[in-house]
Amino acid sequence: MKDYLDVKNLVVEAPRKEGVIKLVDGVSFILGKGEILGIVGESGSGKTITCTAILGLLPTSMKKSASVLKLEGQSLLSKTHNQICGNLMSMIFQDPAAALNPVFTVRSQINAVLKRHSSLSAGERRKRLHQLLIDVGLPDPVRVAASFPHELSGGMQQRVLIAMALSTGAKLLIADEPTTALDVTVQAQILELLSDLRERLGLSIIFISHDLAVISQVCDRVAVMLHGKIVEHGEVGAVLGNPQHEYTQALLASSLGQHDVGSTLPTIAASQFMDARYDK
């Protein structure tokens, strides 16, 4: 698999009362074409900032730098977010209801994206819209297209957002905790959809989550982040089956669902992994 997305030594700095701190501290990874990479970490690990930095969506107070930040050989460092977002890659988030405009129908929202990112005629757009909704597994595309977001369930809303992300023509999708707010059975369907899209459309996906079980289900490789750094990465099975870094081990150990019913869980003591960035 050729290197689709190449990131080396990405650093994001933000000003704080104590001085400038590195929210992302030298993160490097590679995403192959058609690959699903998981980034797992807890709050404050920098997993979301890493991706917003790649998209060029950082707030102006934060500074980013990287030795390499390339998509298909082209450097992204000099591009504005307008050039990157949508055209080259897109992102979906945790709360689908919040990402959709409640006063416009699904059709008009996706249409707006199609207009911006393609030069199709109105008729062609209508066909493409229809196809996209089918691609994301929505059973009744005509009805869904005419609906308002609040008329759809959480799972359907997330599918609509995935359709919107695909409608831009981007081949790289960043999914930030896309199933955390959804019911378990719906989550399973969305995960299946993402795998399916990877198979059929050759979509490359960066999947951010705090849930190791979800990552193990859908990702090929995984990177574990702690305090702005990647502490371990590799094939999902290998990393989770044989974790090398203390933090990965601790995270695995305290994950629910693997221990005996009713047992007391091993925990990570707060003192075990201190955040050195804030010690002054």
Partner 1 sequence: MISELLSVEHIDKHFYQSHGLFRRTKNAVLRDVSLAIGAGESIGLVGESGSGKTTLARCIMGIMQPDFGTINFDGVDIALLEGRRRQQMRRQLAMVYQNPYRSLNPHFTLFDLLAEPIQAHENLSRTDLTKRITALLDQVGLSLNLISRKVGALSGGQAQRIAIARALALDPKLIILDEPTSALDVSVQAQILNLLKSLQSEAGCSYLFITHNLDVVRHACNRVLVMLEGQIVEHGDTRQVLLSPQHEYTKRLIAATPQLVVGQV
Partner 2 sequence: MASNLNSVKTNNAVRVFLSDWVGIISLLVIVVIFGCILFAPLLTDYVEQGLGAPGLERLNPPSQDYLMGTDRLGRDLWSRLLFGGRISVLLAVLVVSLALVVGTPLGIIAGYFGGWVDEVIMRIVDVFLAFPPLLLAIFMAAILEPGLLNMVLAIALGWWPWYTRIARAQVLSYRQRPFVEAAEFMGVRHTKIMFRHLLPFVGPPVLIQATLDLGSAILTVAALSFLGLGLPPPTPDWGQIISEGRVYFPDRWWYVTFPGLAIFITALAFNLLGDSIRSSINPDKEI
Residues forming contacts to partner 1 in the complex (CB under 8 A) are: 42-43, 154, 183-188, 191, 210-214, 216-217, 235-242, 250-252, 254-259, 261-268
Using CB distances below 5 to 8 A depending on partner kind, what does residue 278 bind out of partner 2, partner 1, none? partner 2
Tokens of 56: 């060029």
Helices in 118-245 by DSSP H: which ranges? 122-135, 141-146, 154-167, 184-201, 212-218, 236-241
Options 26, 44, 154, 234; binder of partner 2; rule CB under 8 A:
44
Is the CB of 138 or the CB of 219 nearer to partner 1? 219
Q: Which is nearer to partner 1, 25 or 220 (CB)?
A: 220
Q: Of 40 and 174, which CB lies nearer to partner 1 in the complex structure?
A: 40
| Interatomic CA distance for residues 122 and 120, integer angstroms | 7
**What does 275 bind: partner 2, partner 1, none (CB cut-off 5 to 8 Å by kind)?**
partner 2
Q: Which of 207, 154, 160, 229 is nearest to 184 (CA)?
A: 154
Buried b (16+ CB within 10 A) or exposed e, 134-171: ebbbbeebeebbebebeebebbbbbbbbbbbbbbbebb
Residue 269 CB, nearest distance to partner 2 (Å)? 15
Judged by beta carbon distances under 5 to 8 A according to partner kind, the member of partner 2, partner 1, none in contact with residue 187 is partner 1
Q: Find which of partner 1, partner 2, none residue 118 binds, CB within 5 to 8 Å per kind.
A: none
Q: How far is the CB of 228 from partner 2 (least distance, A)?
A: 13
Structure tokens belonging to residue 57: 């969506």
CB of 243 to partner 1, least distance (A): 10
Whole-angstrom distance between the N-terminal and C-terminal Cα of the chain? 44
Label residue 32 exposed, middle or buried (CB < 10 Å: 0-12, 13-18, 19+). middle
- Residue 278 in contact with partner 2, rule: CB under 8 A: yes
* Min dist. Cβ of residue 274 to partner 1 (A): 13
Question: What residues numbered 118-137 form the site for partner 2, per CB under 8 A?
Answer: none
Please give the Cα distance from 173 to 91 (Å, whole number).
6
Nearest partner of 167 among 86, 242, 69, 51, judged by Cα: 86
Site size with partner 2, rule: CB under 8 A? 3
Alpha-carbon radius of gyration of the chain = 20
151 vs 275, beta carbon nearer partner 2: 275
Residue 88 interacting entry, from partner 1, partner 2, none, C-beta within 5 to 8 Å by type: none
Looking up tokens 């690959």 gives 35
User: Closer CB to partner 2, residue 3 or residue 13?
Assistant: 13
Q: Which residues contact 157 (CB under 8 A, 6 or more apart)?
A: 96, 97, 100, 149
CB of 65 to partner 1, least distance (A): 28
CB of 11 to partner 2, least distance (A): 20
Q: What part of residues 230-259 is at the interface with partner 2 (CB under 8 A)? A: none
Cβ pair 99, 161 in contact under 8 A: yes
Binding footprint of partner 2 on the chain (CB under 8 A): 44, 275, 278
